[in-house]
Amino acid sequence: MNMPARFKKMFSAAALAAALGLSLIPTTANAWIVFDPTNWIENAITATNQILTEWNTYEDLIQNTQQTMTMIQSLSTMQGLANAAGLSDELALYQQLAQTASELYGTVQSAQQLYTNLQSQYGASNFTWQNFLNNRNGVNSSRVSSMLGQFQNVQQEIQRVSARRQTLLQKAQDAGTNQSMMQITQVTSAQLDMISGQLQQVTSTLSDKAADDAAQKNDQIQADQFSQDMYRQRQQELLNSANALH
């Protein structure tokens, strides 16, 4: 037996909410996911603070490594130069990690700004997505497409830099980097996963809305075309009747 469309929507919303630990608020016809922009802004702030901590850790390691290299090179011995050569690779790794932290810091701040912009349009934090997207004072199709593009860009940038970060962290782990640094990076990774999950929910919802708008627009175009065809057919029938009288 096929499930009615409205129950499929309810089931999908409930499943997504359960997966992301979100709540549902029932309306007259359906249950919809509650988006809390205030909480998401706070999560983004927490993430940027954690990324800043990791970034500062790399900067300290860069400074310490440079000082050690300077001291070793001042010895002007073959062994000293060999040791400095090994530290040079370690320094380059820390510098690359610092660069990824810098990029992630800016990108997560962009996510925070998008949440803030959304909150200003959204109204109360317990306002449902469904009401927000369909309310006449909410967002139109072009606005949905614009918002979707902005959130997707931030989401893709976080994924891109995070992937490069993980590759560098694996190199650092293989090289036997101190555990305290790795513990800091693990906390950051958890924060980035949270932000990615939030962005995924927003982009999925906006994508669904954009698809619905496109379908409604297509239906309207077909309805208009049908009306025009019927009008032309009726006009032709009247013309044929008039010609038959002559």
- Domain positions in the chain are 39-123+140-178+189-208
Categorize the per-residue pLDDT at 24 as very low, low, confident or very high, splitting at 50, 70 and 90.
very low
Statement: residue 125 has pLDDT above 80: no
| Per-range mean pLDDT, top range of 69-73, 98-102, 121-125, 142-146 | 98-102
Residue owning tokens 């932000």: 195
pLDDT of 44 reads 92
Categorize the per-residue pLDDT at 23 as very low, low, confident or very high, splitting at 50, 70 and 90.
very low
Contact residues for 81 (Cβ-Cβ < 8 A; gap 6+) = 72, 73
Locate 99 and state its tokens: 């660069």
Query: pLDDT exceeding 70 applies to what percent of the chain?
Result: 58
Lowest mean pLDDT among 143-147, 219-223, 230-234: 219-223
User: What number is the average pLDDT over the span 167-189?
Assistant: 87
Average pLDDT for the chain: 74
pLDDT of 71 reads 78
Lowest mean pLDDT among 65-69, 92-96, 140-144: 140-144
Contact residues for 10 (Cβ-Cβ < 8 A; gap 6+) = 30, 31
d(CA 193, CA 190): 5
User: What number is the average pLDDT over the span 172-192?
Assistant: 87
Higher pLDDT, 207 or 158: 158
Lowest mean pLDDT among 157-166, 192-201, 226-235: 226-235
Q: Look at the alpha carbons of 125, 127, 132, 135 in this order and tell me if their dihedral is positive or negative.
A: negative
User: What number is the average pLDDT over the span 21-45?
Assistant: 59
d(CA 196, CA 215): 28
